[in-house]
Structure 1
Amino acid sequence: MYFQRLEDLRIDKDKTQQQIADMLHCKREVYRRYEKGIREIPVWALIKLAYYYNTSTDYILGLSDKRDPIR
């Protein structure tokens, strides 16, 4: 589930996979594998993406449908 949310969030922000990979300090291929569900996303990257997209980790993981971060 999370891989589809990652792709949707990235597209909503008009970013490329390379731009997100650069923000995470990883190779585009590594990020592509996260986004396609081939490789599990590490916790540090999940947290960084949640901050970047201003959403919760629960939303990215598909545990919540609320995009707003929990504050």
Structure 2
Amino acid sequence: MYQRLRNLREDRDLNQAAVAEILHVSQTTYSRYESGVLDVPSASLIALARYYGTSVDYLLGLTDNPTPYHK
């Protein structure tokens, strides 16, 4: 999961501070999410999935299909 978060961020040429701002957390906190030191809260996972246009299952590594689910 943590590598996926980093890959998605880097694919969009974002730094950790930019993603941290989206999640309303510090850059240090986001860095800890990416490194696996801290668990990512479910609200943040949902926000990241919406921002990146994917599913939470993809972020968590439960599927390799990045296409989001339909509502």
TM bucket (normalised to shorter chain) is: over 0.9
Q: Structure 2-normalised TM-score? A: 0.97
Tell me what 1:26 maps to.
25
- Count of aligned pairs between the two proteins: 70
State the shift of 1:44 in Å: 0.2
Give every structure 1 segment of 4 or more consecutive aligned residues whose post-TM-superposition deviation is greater than 3 Å: none
Percent identity of paired positions between Structure 1 and Structure 2: 46
State the shift of 1:15 in Å: 0.4
Higher relative contact order (CA 8 A, sep 6+): 1
Q: Structure 1-normalised TM-score? A: 0.97
| Equivalent position amino acid for 1:57 in 2 | V
Unmatched runs of 5 consecutive residues or more in structure 2 = none
Distance 1:24 1:39 in 2: 14
State the shift of 1:61 in Å: 0.1
RMSD (Å) for aligned C-alpha atoms: 0.4
